[in-house]
Structures are given as structure tokens and as C-alpha cells.
Amino acid sequence: MNRTAGTGPCQALRAARILCAVTLPCEPYLLDPRPDGVHVLWHTEQPGRCQVALVGAGVPRMTEQEAYAAATGPADTGPGWRRFPAETRPLSRTREDAASSVPGRTYAGVTRRPVHRHLATVGGLPARRTPYRVVSVDDDGRAAVTAAYSLAPAVPPGRPARLLLTSDHQLMPMVPANLTKVGETAGAPLDGVLMAGDMVNVPDRASDWFDNARRPAFFAAFAGRVAGRWPGASILPHTPLYPAIGNHEVMGRWSATASLEEQFNDPQPGAWDVTTYEELFPVPRSDAGGPRWWSRTIGDVHLTTLFATSIWRTPKPTGRGKFQEAAGDVDRPERWGHGQFIFEPVARGSAQYRWLADELASPAARAARYRVVMFHHPSHGLGHHSAPPFTDPVPTIRPDGITYHYPAADDHILRDVEPLLDAAGVHLVLNGHSHVWNRFRNAAGVHWLETSNVGNSYGAYDVTSGRSRELPDGYVQQGDPGGLAPIVPTVAPLTGPDGAVLPYVASNDITVFTLLDTADGMVRSYRFDTVDPDAEVVLFDEFPLDGA
């Protein structure tokens, strides 16, 4: 059921007593700014009686009682403020289970956890930052009034933009330190966060997003609300998020008995789900792809975002995995994993491919100073997850077992997508997935960057590391499967035990983030050693999008 909190329901609360001890599962976050406005979203466990955003120069000076009165009073505007009611709807799949860690709660098994999304569409904004607060009144009349944050309309086309490039947070222990240093380094609010997928671990587990008690939940870290030395930073309450779908945004088959982790790990072709992702991030969207693939212009950047990822399967040579089904499951297709299959087709001829070709040729893309394409899978990369090729697994079914092969010549990204990007003059491709930092530049001048070393790293597989991927013969064991040479960081590369410079960062102690500033067209990557809390943030790589 959708409910719009308008003046009627809110006015009925004018005489209610305000209790300010109520807290929201997460602070508000921003999505999809428009020329004169932006979407403000927040969440509660009850639908509540009144959900509004207050916007205006006078909002920070309001006491909580004054903000409550403005939210529930008869007027839509007042001195220095305007009121924007939210549309309310429940998230349809959020649950917890015995593995969840929610403060003050335990779950014996998979249990529905009610979460309601409130979305206020703010309009009529001036071309500058404006303060806002959210007022949420629950079913019992108790109110939560947030701190004052800021919002702004979309950066006008052609204007410079400052963007954070990141991915693969997944509640990893270095994320709060990473975002704390982003906040300190970036200074003023950014114009956008480009998130190349894998925001949480199990997308239908509500506490992964909001309030995990053992590990840093996604929104908590991005709001500076993590307990401990590194709180994260208040970024998403001020800065719009531009997300892409990674494999950790996809749930598998629904089950009444399996744990959430087991359900997450049990998708089959045609039997998987991204509902929670789409409900949390209903915009940006396109007519063809909804929130799964879309494009937006952010100042002088044209961003195109794809749904290009596959289910992760173990490379181990026994059991259900990348390369085989479990022994004895030949006649039990309901137990098959179908190898590392691709969720949404992006190969030549698919709906997503056709949309991408049209979008890259659009006037908005052609007019932009910089063209950026973002998706999760890193076909160019030194990480473990850059191989096997990004293609549909080819099964071989015998009486004694089922095996899968991934033909190198059929990599959908290298064979089909990359030529489109080259021909369109794309400047930067942003990926994630392998939990490393590395970058490449192909013969057409397109930069490929993976900047996902914010949590557990699976290592880099390069001649300088001496490591080889754990893959069967016939697959690329070292280096980039796409054949590009990795670029050594230009400012302060790390070195190996022998003193050789390393073209990557793959560490469980050193975290990395990247900022794109189009005022000078530079992409700058920074690292921070979490083992030494007093260490300085180090600029270790920078390059111009217009050049090598």
C-alpha cells in the first residue's frame, strides 16, 4: 500500500506530544537530482502518521519542537522553510534470520522485518546548497527530527563536478576508515557518489543496510554513524548516490526454510531477484531498464550505468561451483547452480546492448565533456574475479557429472561492449568486484579503473605478486585477461618485498578511494594505512581523463 503524508494526516497531530528519543534506521539519503530538485529518502519500521522533508535557509535554526510544528501544522510554508510530504511504501522483501545482528533483537529463523520507505520529491530549489531536515512521526505519535543536512539540484550540464568513485563495501571492516578519510580529503560536499555495486552482503537482510551491530552497515558508514574510532562520514545525507547492481544486490530463490545466506547463494537462470535494490534505489531509472540500467548527466560528465554481473561461484574443483555441479547431482536439476551464469544479458543483440548503443550516440552523451560508463564486472583487471571470461557457461553433461566451460573469445564485455565504448570515445570505465585497485588504458584511449579495495582483498594476480589464479588450465592465471598492461601509479606506488613498484593495491590493511574532479579533468586515487591511525592520506595516483 502506498500512503502519501499530506497536510491532512499531519495536521491531525498538531496537539500531539513530541518525544525526540525516536531514531530512524538510517539518516536520509539523496537520489537522482533534477534541474530544480532532488529525491530525499528515509526509512522507518512503521509507516507512521506523518513523513515530511523541511527545506529552506531557516531550517537549521529550528528547534525540534519548531520543526515538528512546521511538519504537522496547517501551512505548507513558513519563514525560511517549505514542507515536502513523502510517498510511503513498504519494502516487500526485507527480512532477518539467525545470522543477523540487530541491536536488542534475536531471530530464530528467517523472519519478516517491516521497513517502510519514504520518498519526498523536493522541487523549486535555487542553484545552490539548501538546508533540509526530515521529520518522521510514528504510529504512536512519537517524532524523530533529524539533524540539518544540505541538498542541491543537479549540477547544470557543462559545469565541473566532483565525484567519489567506489564499490564493494559489503560491511567490510575498513569501510568506516575509508569513508572517514573521504570526508576529510574531499572537504565540501561532493556532487555524487558513483558506486559500482556490491553495497552489502545479503540484499534482503535489512540490517546489512541499516543497523548491523557487528559490522558497518551500508547507510550507517555513509552517514558517519559507525561506533568506534572511524565513524565513517556524513556523505549520502548531502550527496546523491548513483548506484550500479553488483552480484551482492541479487537474491536467489525464495525459501521458507533456508537461511538468507543460503537463499542469496541459490539463484538459477530466470530465478533471481533484485526487488530490494530496486525499492531502495527507485531512481535513477530509464524507460528501457528501469533502475537496472540508466544514464544521467552530472555537470560535464555523462554517466551510463549497466547491469553487468554474474553469480559468484567457488572455483574449487569439487561441489557446486564455477566449473562443475556437485557429484551425484546429474539427475537433480533443482540442485544445479548452472555455473557462473550472467544475470542480465549485455551481449550484442540484447535489450541492454541496444540501449547502450543508442545512449552512447545520444546528444547528451555526445555533448558531454567526459563520458563515464559504470558496471560491476571487471573484464580488464588483475583481480581473481576478472576470470574466467564474462560469458554464458557452456555445459557438458555426462552420466558421471556436469562441467562448465567459458570460451575466451565469447567474453561479452571484451567482445561486444568494449568496441562500443571505444567507438563512442568513452573516457573512463569504472568497475568493482575483485576488491583491488588497478587501472589500464586501451589502444582507443579508454581508461579502465577498478577502485574497490575498501574491504577484504582477494589479491592481485600479476608477475610482480607472483600469484596465479586458482583456475583450471586454459584460463588466464596471471595478468589482465583482456591483454592490457597494468599502469603503475604515477605519484607514490607501493613496492613489493624486492623493492619493485606494484601496479595495484591489494591489501587488508591499506584502503583506497578515488575522486574525479572535472574542473581539471583529473582522477586522483588515495590510500590510507589503517594499521597506523596517525598516518597521512597518501595521493598515490593521478591521471587526466583527456590524456594518457
Which residues, listed in sequence order, are joined to residue 268 by a DSSP beta bridge? 271
Question: Is-above-0.75 flag for pTM?
Answer: yes
Helices (H), 298-417: 351-360, 363-367, 412
Contacts with 227 (C-beta within 8 Å, 6 or more apart), sequence order: none
Task: Read off the pLDDT of each residue in 149-175 and give the average, rounded to a whole number.
Answer: 97
Chain center to CA of 340: 21
Cis amide bond preceding 388, omega within 30: yes
- What is the model's pLDDT at position 267? 97
- What is the model's pLDDT at position 44? 97
CA dihedral 436, 438, 443, 446 (to 10 degrees): 80
- What is the model's pLDDT at position 18? 53
Calculate the average pLDDT of the chain.
Answer: 94
Task: Read off the pLDDT of each residue in 454-481 and give the average, rounded to a whole number.
Answer: 93
Task: Read off the pLDDT of each residue in 440-467 and give the average, rounded to a whole number.
Answer: 94
- What is the model's pLDDT at position 21? 55
- What is the model's pLDDT at position 547? 72
Amino acid at 184: E
Percent helix / strand / coil, the chain, rounded to 5? 15, 30, 55
Residue 104, Ramachandran bin (φ over 0: left; ψ between -120 and 50: alpha; else beta): left
At 418, is the pLDDT very low, low, confident or very high (cuts 50, 70, 90)?
very high
Specify the residue for cell string 574532479.
517
- Per-residue pLDDT of 485-535, as tens digits, reads 999 999 999 999 999 999 999 999 999 999 999 999 999 999 999 999 999
> What percentage of the chain exceeds 90 in pLDDT?
93
| Residue 490 CB neighbours (<10 A) | 14
Please name which of 371, 247, 223, 234 lies closest in space to residue 309, comparing C-alpha atoms. 247
Contacts with 66 (C-beta within 8 Å, 6 or more apart), sequence order: none
* pLDDT surpassing 70 at residue 20: no
- CA distances for 544 relative to 15, 404, 487, 547, 548, angstroms: 59, 41, 13, 5, 7
Q: How far apart are CA 42 and CA 40, in angstroms?
A: 7
At 548, is the pLDDT very low, low, confident or very high (cuts 50, 70, 90)?
low
Task: Read off the pLDDT of each residue in 460-465 and give the average, rounded to a whole number.
Answer: 95
- Per-residue pLDDT of 525-547, as tens digits, reads 999 999 999 999 999 999 999 87
Name the helix (H) or strand (E) containing 17.
none
Chain center to CA of 121: 21
- What is the model's pLDDT at position 10? 67
- What is the model's pLDDT at position 11? 53
Phi, psi of 162 (to 5 degrees): -120, 120
- Per-residue pLDDT of 246-290, as tens digits, reads 999 999 999 988 999 999 999 999 999 999 999 999 999 999 999
- What is the model's pLDDT at position 175? 97
* pLDDT surpassing 90 at residue 23: no
Contacts with 15 (C-beta within 8 Å, 6 or more apart), sequence order: none
- Return the DSSP state at 453: T
| Residue 243 CB neighbours (<10 A) | 21
Query: 29 near 35, Cβ under 8 Å?
Result: no
At 188, is the pLDDT very low, low, confident or very high (cuts 50, 70, 90)?
confident
Please name which of 392, 396, 385 lies closest in space to residue 407, comparing C-alpha atoms. 392
Contacts with 363 (C-beta within 8 Å, 6 or more apart), sequence order: none
Contacts with 91 (C-beta within 8 Å, 6 or more apart), sequence order: 43, 115, 116, 117, 206, 276, 279, 280
Phi, psi of 376 (to 5 degrees): -80, -45
**3-151 homologous superfamily:** Immunoglobulins (2.60.40.10)
- CA distances for 161 relative to 75, 123, 431, angstroms: 36, 21, 20
At 455, is the pLDDT very low, low, confident or very high (cuts 50, 70, 90)?
confident
Amino acid at 71: A
C-alpha cell at 462: 600479476
Task: Read off the pLDDT of each residue in 129-157 and give the average, rounded to a whole number.
Answer: 96
* pLDDT surpassing 50 at residue 212: yes
Please name which of 311, 330, 238 lies closest in space to residue 271, comparing C-alpha atoms. 311
Name the helix (H) or strand (E) containing 66.
helix 64-72
Q: How far apart are CA 218 and CA 432, in angstroms?
A: 16
| Residue 221 CB neighbours (<10 A) | 27
* pLDDT surpassing 50 at residue 155: yes
User: Quick one: three-class SS letters along 156-220?
Assistant: CCCCCCEEEEECCCCCCCCHHHHHHHHHHHHCCCCCEEEECCCCCCCCCEHHHHCCCCCCCCHHH
The residues spanned by each domain of the chain are: 3-151, 162-197+292-306+344-544
* pLDDT surpassing 70 at residue 43: yes
- What is the model's pLDDT at position 256? 83
- What is the model's pLDDT at position 1? 37
Helices (H), 369-479: 412, 418-423
Task: Read off the pLDDT of each residue in 128-137 and give the average, rounded to a whole number.
Answer: 97
- Per-residue pLDDT of 330-363, as tens digits, reads 999 999 999 999 999 999 999 999 999 999 999 9
Phi, psi of 275 (to 5 degrees): -60, -50
Burial of 263 (0-12, 13-18, 19+ CB in 10 A): buried
* Terminal-to-terminal C-alpha distance of the chain: 53
CATH annotation of 162-197+292-306+344-544: 3.60.21
